[in-house]
Amino acid sequence: MNINNKRKILVIYTGGTIGMMLDKATGTLRPLEFGQMSKLIPELLDSDYVPDYISFDPTVDSSNMDPASWIRLAEIIGEHYEAYDGFVILHGSDTMAYSASALSFLLENLNKPVIFTGSQLPLGVNRTDGKENFITSLEIAAHYADDTPLVPEVCIYFENQLYRGNRTFKYNAENFDAFRSVNYPVLADVGVYIKFNNNAIQKPNFKKLKVYRKLDTSVAILKLFPGIQDHVVSELLGIEGLKAVVLETYGTGNSHTAQSFVDILARAIDNGLFILNITQCKGGAVEHGKYQASVPLAGAGVVSGGDMTLEAAVTKLMFLLGAGLSGAELKKAMQRSLRGEISE
């Protein structure tokens, strides 16, 4: 294929395991030289795409990823959006689901593939899962039909499956299949062939990309457990400057029903705090009123987060608070699907 006819893919390396290789002289891991990638993965020379590379400098371990890094990623994509057919982001797996969720909100009217991938073993060592993850992510990002991208959304690709980024969570620290999307079907299964689940993939709207550059981190997470003390709840909800709390409850959104606990929530909400209820379960959704144990929460003004993941709930709140939403407007937006992150 003539190089001029090949799809152009921008690879953005943020940091993480996949971008490391073993220095045999010292026995330590060091960052890859991406200019030498074709020597490490010669298959790239005989492909239908041409990858270019940008690397964070310095690179960022995924444990240190933050909203500023998410905005930086969005800006890089916005700056290079017209020049490339798709984007692959190499990222550490630990916070990948947060980054993918955040980026989905920061990129409105996205009509090109943005694929996050990484690995459990470095690209430059034996038995690495990074090589297959990287090559397949590039192929998916370059996959077009009739000049239309097949996956025009922010995704995570890991170990033979493509997921919607804001529906995904990391569930395993040791196995190669590190991610799951329980409440939403996979977007593609990869074996001998890449089998796209077209009914689950968002359709392009062909509108102009809009890049947002503001996130408000005045958010906290409160995970309930049997025996949690009222003063712990009260102290957290009373943090100065706090605007929103993600409340992780049991089952379909249930909590203990002690009046003192409910009163603490109600007072905080009356004072302007937004509280979103999501389930601690990895599958299923909050359904206020299904059981009596969730009725007091709804009565106090706690808002149902439906079937959103924790990662999507936190980053969506940051995004909407950054846009200046509050009160009823924030409640309505949190319960509406912006980028396919919640089932309405």
The catalytic site residues sit at 17
Is residue 164 within 8 Å of 184, Cβ to Cβ?
A: yes
Amino acid at 319: F
Structure tokens at 308: 């959103």
Q: How many other C-beta atoms can be found within 10 angstroms of the C-beta atom of residue 272?
A: 10
Is residue 81 within 8 Å of 177, Cβ to Cβ?
A: no
Task: Round to whole Å and give the CA distance between 112 and 140.
Answer: 11
Going from the C-alpha of 337 to that of each of 40, 105, 194, 274, 313, the distances in angstroms are 41, 11, 27, 18, 12
Structure tokens at 312: 């999507």
DSSP 250: B
Structure tokens at 70: 């998410």
The string of DSSP letters for 274-298 reads: EEEEEESSSSS---TTSSGGGHHHH
Going from the C-alpha of 4 to that of each of 7, 8, 48, 145, 177, the distances in angstroms are 8, 9, 10, 18, 36
Structure tokens at 248: 């992780």
Residue 313, φ and ψ in degrees, nearest 5: -65, -45
**Which residue in 332, 275, 316 sits closest to 165, CA to CA?**
316
Residues with Cβ within 8 Å of 172's Cβ and at least 6 positions away in sequence, in order, are: 178
Q: DSSP 3-state assignment of 232?
A: helix
Residue 279, φ and ψ in degrees, nearest 5: -85, 145
